[in-house]
């Protein structure tokens, strides 16, 4: 399997999960979570879905940045989403899951920083790129 297909699969999986988790939040969790926890859940869903779309766009477009840079950016986005959204999903449902993981608090901003790093790297690579979109 080539790397492009690998990232397309990640994008599809993250998007499908985001849609499922969005529905779960809207139809089930809204009845049992606090307003603050539900808002956090929705933030995680939104960030996950946005990044799934960006991962797909980058994976499908090899005309703007190098393959090596694209892989770095895509990996930053994937790991960032897993840390950011994943930790928020777990933190926001602690009241119903009973799961208490003190390490989750610091994981969320690390995920956010990884996503930001991916965006900065995408910006820098597109600025210095000699390739042109057609």
What pLDDT, in 10s, does the model give residues 108-119?
999 999 999 999
pLDDT (tens digit per residue) in 3-31: 889 999 999 999 999 999 999 999 999 99
Residue 82: both structure tokens together = 């897993």
Average pLDDT on 117-133 reads: 82
What pLDDT, on the 0 to 100 scale, is given for residue 1? 56
Residue 37: both structure tokens together = 């926890």
Average pLDDT on 39-56 reads: 96
Residue 134 has pLDDT above 70, yes or no: no
What pLDDT, on the 0 to 100 scale, is given for residue 12? 96
Residue 131 has pLDDT above 80, yes or no: no
Average pLDDT on 102-127 reads: 92
Query: Long-range contact list for 46-51, CB < 8 A, 24+ apart?
Result: 47/81, 47/84, 47/85, 47/115, 48/14, 48/17, 48/18, 48/21, 48/81, 48/85, 49/14, 49/15, 49/18, 49/19, 49/22, 51/14, 51/77, 51/80, 51/81, 51/115
């Amino acid at each position: 399997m080539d790397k492009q297909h690998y990232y397309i699969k990640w994008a599809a999986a993250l998007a499908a999960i985001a849609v499922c988790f969005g529905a779960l939040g809207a139809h089930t969790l809204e009845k049992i979570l606090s307003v603050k926890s539900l808002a956090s859940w929705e933030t995680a869903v939104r960030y996950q879905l946005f990044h799934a779309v960006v991962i797909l766009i980058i994976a499908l477009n090899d005309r703007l940045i190098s393959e090596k840079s694209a892989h770095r950016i895509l990996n930053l986005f994937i790991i960032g989403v897993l840390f950011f959204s994943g930790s928020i999903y777990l933190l926001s449902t602690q009241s119903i899951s009973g799961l208490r993981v003190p390490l989750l608090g610091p994981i969320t901003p690390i995920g956010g920083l990884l996503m930001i790093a991916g965006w900065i790297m995408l910006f820098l690579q597109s600025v210095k790129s000699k390739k042109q979109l057609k």
